[in-house]
Amino acid sequence: MGTLQIDFGEDRKSKIVGIDLGTTNSLIAYMDLTGPRIIEDSEGRKIVPSIVSLSEDGKLVAGEPARELLLTHPERTVYSVKRLMGRGVGDVQEELKLFPFRIASDSESVIKLNLGDRTFTPPEISAAVLRQLKNNAEAALGTPVSEAVITVPAYFNDAQRQATKDAGRLAGLEVLRLVNEPTAASLAYGLDKRQDGIIAVYDFGGGTFDISILRLHDGIFEVLATNGDTHLGGDDIDNLLLRIALEDVETEWGQDLSQDSEGVQRMRRAVIRAKEELSFVPEATVELSYKGKTYQRSIDRTLFDRLIAPIIERTLASCRSCLADAKLTPEQINEVVMVGGSTRIPRVRTAVERLFKAKPHTELNPDEVVALGAAVQAGILAGDVENKLLLDVTPLSLGIEIMGGVVSKLIHRNSTIPASATETFTTAVEGQRNVLIHVLQGERELVKDCRSLARFDLKDIQPLPAGMARIEVRFLIDANGILNVTARDARTGKEQTVEVKPSYGLTEEQVEAMIQESFDKAEEDMRERQVREARVEADNILAATEKAQKNEAWEALSDNERRAIESAKRELRAVYHGNDHRLINEKIDALNHATQTLAENMMNTAVRGALRGTKID
């Protein structure tokens, strides 16, 4: 097991900070002698809006200045960019319909956003927010800030997490850890001090809603299930009140204010102020003075609760789904943590308490709780928490072999232990009954270049068509560095476990050499991985096509269609053994296109067979 020496002497020049990089707002925090503290800017503000704008002098500005520019220059301003991090253009078409952002014409797989006459990627936009947080921290602490712990949603995939790390690097920060937001919230409340327990984290922010259920065992947080809605948050409540106010204005003033962007933004601020007041007082007033006219409307708590009831119910529906996915009842939840500004609303708190039958934790500021938890993790890394001189980490990445002789990494190197990760895999052969689980350690992309730790078989899985089986592989490293690997057939419940010591037999010099070799050969390894993955996909489509040619749907094709398929197969086989993954993928796409009619015929044949002998009343 590798250890990392931490120097927490008085002469340490740089603070390690914790950052909540949020969809709507972001915060930065650090550990002082009394505990985690949020860092304020020069004007005493703790929250930095996650808004970025391109100023007239060509510089990216973030936070409050950008929020002001959103009123006057919306075409040069971006918000909620977190939703675009680590995703391709094809993944975010629905997202983009909701935003005024323009995608650059040369965006193909990588998203590029047009701001005025320049383009930026989502990590570059997020880096501007991180840079503002970094500047605030350096000004407040009087020391350089170059290392950080950043929180991410539990459902973020590898690409989204890597994009977050890239944003940190662009902002001049070394991202020491990415911590799941629900885990950070639990850390802020000190729930990691429990020996065991089930924790629900209800995160109702400005733009998104997330519910996560965690299992805590011996200091390890394991995500059992997540659910939520990426388009459900306090913004929906704001929009509801805004719509009512704009309708009132149209009736009173005889003017459609919805077509006036500045007027809309000013009214939005007015309804947000009223919404915030209603969390503490029984009645609030929406008030707007604009272009010589004044609008006023009082809203009491009873009316407000009735208006927002459908929105709250949508969050509770996600909670019920999350409980079902985790195979738990509300009574089995030991702790409930509230995160996000929208959880200040009394009706939200009572609804959550009623559902989980437990009083939720609301002692900490819900806007700040994730950043405070990130600061706790930063304090652990810095040695400021419990005077830890040595921090145990995994020295090398751990993963399993998948098709093509490549490695799928589940736990990455330098992850703090205890640690856990779960991923779902499938089978490659029709009717497969056994699966070989090959556990590997190392930083290289291919199995042949990594260290084999263990092999075991998961036997007697349910025989299904290729790609239909669901095999859950779980890696769990305990506080002693012992790795337990469990493979489970999700359909039958059969499982097999092996225990290994990941770092057994390796010296520090060998670990360093393996890491250095991975850097030196990273480009070569990635090319080889891409070729192997392309060949695996080619094998799959060729096998599927061969099988389809024995189906009666093949006979329904014209001679030209059959010749086109045979030609596409020959062209794919001709490039199969080459080293150009782009060319292989190009020929795969060509065969996919050639077999489109065949696939449709097969589907029609299957539907006719399923309906044969049935009657419609």
pLDDT, tens digit, 9 for 90 and up, residues 314-370: 999 999 999 998 899 999 999 999 999 999 999 999 999 999 999 999 999 999 999
Q: pLDDT by residue (tens digit) across 131-153?
A: 999 999 999 999 999 999 999 88
Higher pLDDT among residues 181 and 479, named by residue: 181
Confidence of residue 9 (pLDDT cuts 50, 70, 90): very low
Q: Of 374, 407, 380, 408, whose CA–CA distance to 393 is shortest? A: 380
Q: Which fold has domain 523-611?
A: Substrate Binding Domain Of Dnak; Chain:A; Domain 2 (1.20.1270)
Give the pLDDT of residue 8: 40
Cα 114 to Cα 23, 74, 108, 119, 469: the distances in Å are: 19, 12, 14, 5, 43
Mean pLDDT of the chain: 82
Is the predicted pLDDT of residue 127 greater than 90, yes or no?
yes
CATH of domain 234-306: 3.90.640.10
For residues 425 and 375, the model is more confident at: 375
One of 15, 41, 46, 82 is an active-site residue; which one?
Answer: 82
| Per-residue model confidence (pLDDT) at position 298 | 93
The catalytic residue among 124, 166, 192, 203 is 203
Identify whether 509 is a catalytic site residue: no
Active site residue 525: no
For domain 394-520, the CATH class is mainly beta
Instruction: Report in angstroms the alpha-carbon separations of 291 from 152, 233, 265, 555, 560.
Output: 43, 31, 14, 73, 70
Among the listed residues 15, 20, 449, 569, the single catalytic one is 20
What pLDDT score does 299 carry?
93
DSSP 8-state secondary structure symbol assigned to residue 14: -
Q: Is 460 a catalytic residue?
A: no
Residue 559: per-residue pLDDT:
83
Residue 510 parent element (H or E):
helix 508-520
Which pLDDT tens digit goes with each residue over 266-325?
A: 898 899 999 999 999 999 999 998 888 899 999 999 999 999 999 999 999 999 999 998
DSSP structural state of residue 492: T
Looking at 86-90, 92-96, 119-123, 259-263, which range is the least confident one? 92-96
What tokens appear for 501 in the block? 């010591």
CB 383 within 8 A of CB 6: yes
Q: Which comes out higher in pLDDT, residue 364 or 8?
A: 364
Residue 522 binned pLDDT confidence (cut-offs 50, 70, 90): confident
d(CA 571, CA 100): 43
Residue 298 has a CB neighbour count (10 Å cut-off) of 11
Contact 319, 328 (CB under 8 A): no
State the catalytic residue, choosing from 147, 181, 367, 368.
Answer: 181
User: Both tokens of residue 563?
Assistant: 């010749």
**Stretch among 14-18, 432-436, 521-525 having the lowest mean pLDDT:** 521-525
Q: What are phi and psi of 499, to 5 degrees?
A: -115, 130
Q: Pinpoint the residues of the chain covered by CATH 1.20.1270.10.
A: 523-611
**Cα–Cα distance between 427 and 467 in angstroms, integer?**
5
Q: Report the interhelical angle of 581-594 vs 559-576 (nearest 10°).
A: 170
Could you tell me the pTM of the whole model?
0.63
* Domain 2-183: CATH class, spelled out: alpha beta
User: Is residue 481 very low, low, confident or very high in pLDDT (cuts 50, 70, 90)?
Assistant: low
The residue that leads in pLDDT, 308 or 115, is 308
Q: Say how far apart CA 292 and CA 248 lie, in whole Å.
A: 17
Quote the tokens at residue 96.
Answer: 């983009």
Active site annotation includes 589: no
Q: Taking residues 494-511, what's their average pLDDT?
A: 63
Section 467-496 average pLDDT: 80
Picking from 241, 239, 268, the residue whose alpha carbon sits closest to that of residue 67 is 268
Backbone angles phi, psi at 500, to 5 degrees: -140, 160
> CATH 2.60.34.10 occupies which residues in the chain?
394-520
